[in-house]
């Protein structure tokens, strides 16, 4: 598939041929959902914790005699039955991550890129070079191009001047090609990729595979 290449000032800079195997697939929601679930589960802290019966601080003395009270037999105030007692089978710190085959992860990224291309939310830009690397210059470029919540993907290395200038802009995020992931791509309204980023992504995902 072919797409127009633009400059930061919204001027035209020719065309680019994109690999159909990466940008021209029919998006599958089930694959995207699997990869997003895998990403979010991996990112979950898993620090949830409660005090069990053995963690609660109380005397270990039997609270009352075994027989003759007319109530149930109890030995410890730490039991979950009592107020301030330990929690029964509560959550403990653990990892929520699970395995997902590398091929499924790569396929998910291809489908995320294809979903943006299909929806007309993919923009190819020549480069991120700015004559004056200031926040106002990036804000002006974003406004001129009509971008709101945008993710910019550069090549192997991010343009330092652009990254610094865009750091304080709300709704503008920038990643190197190796940082491209399904969740961040789908979360933004517009996906902007530099020509260097396209080459890096096609090399990473295996053009023609």
- Strand, helix or coil at 193? strand
Counted residue by residue, the chain has a size of: 209
pLDDT band at 152 (very low <50, low <70, confident <90, very high): very high
How far apart CA 163 and CA 171 sit, in angstroms, is 13
Sort strands 190-194 and 122-125 into parallel, antiparallel or unpaired: parallel
What was the pLDDT predicted at 208? 39
Contact indicator for 168, 133 with CB cutoff of 8 Å: no
Round to whole Å and give the CA distance between 2 and 132.
Answer: 31
- Is it the case that residue 102 has pLDDT exceeding 80? yes
Domain residue ranges of the chain, discontinuous segments joined by +:
2-45+97-205, 50-90
Mean pLDDT, rounded, for 13-29: 90
43-82 pLDDT, tens digit per residue, is 999 999 999 999 999 888 998 999 999 989 999 999 999 9
CATH class of domain segment(s) 2-45+97-205: alpha beta
Long-range contacts of 83-87 (CB under 8 A, 24+ apart): 84/56, 84/58, 85/53, 85/56, 86/51, 86/52, 86/53, 86/54, 86/55, 86/56, 87/50, 87/51, 87/52
Q: What are phi and psi of 123, to 5 degrees?
A: -125, 130
- In the predicted structure, residue 131 carries a pLDDT above the cut 90: no
Q: How far apart are alpha carbons 4 and 70 in whole angstroms?
A: 85
């Amino acid at each position: 598939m072919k797409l127009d290449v633009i400059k930061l000032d919204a001027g035209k800079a020719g065309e680019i041929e994109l690999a159909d195997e990466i940008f021209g697939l029919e998006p599958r929601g089930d694959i995207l959902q699997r990869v997003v679930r895998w990403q979010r589960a991996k990112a979950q802290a898993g620090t949830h914790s409660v005090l069990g019966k053995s963690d609660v601080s109380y005397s270990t003395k039997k609270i009352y005699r075994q027989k003759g009270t007319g109530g149930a037999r109890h030995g410890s105030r730490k039991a979950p039955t009592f107020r301030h007692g330990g929690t029964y089978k509560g959550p403990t710190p653990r990892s929520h991550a699970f395995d997902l085959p590398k091929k499924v992860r790569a396929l998910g990224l291809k489908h995320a890129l294809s979903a943006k291309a299909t929806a007309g939310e993919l923009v190819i830009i020549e480069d991120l070079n700015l004559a004056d690397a200031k926040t106002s210059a990036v804000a002006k470029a974003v406004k001129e191009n009509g971008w709101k919540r945008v993710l910019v993907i550069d090549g192997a290395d991010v343009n330092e001047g652009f990254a610094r200038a865009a750091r304080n802009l709300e709704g503008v995020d920038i990643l190197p090609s190796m940082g491209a992931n399904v969740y961040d791509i789908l979360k933004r309204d517009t996906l902007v990729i530099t020509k260097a980023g396209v080459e890096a992504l096609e090399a990473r995902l295996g053009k023609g595979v």
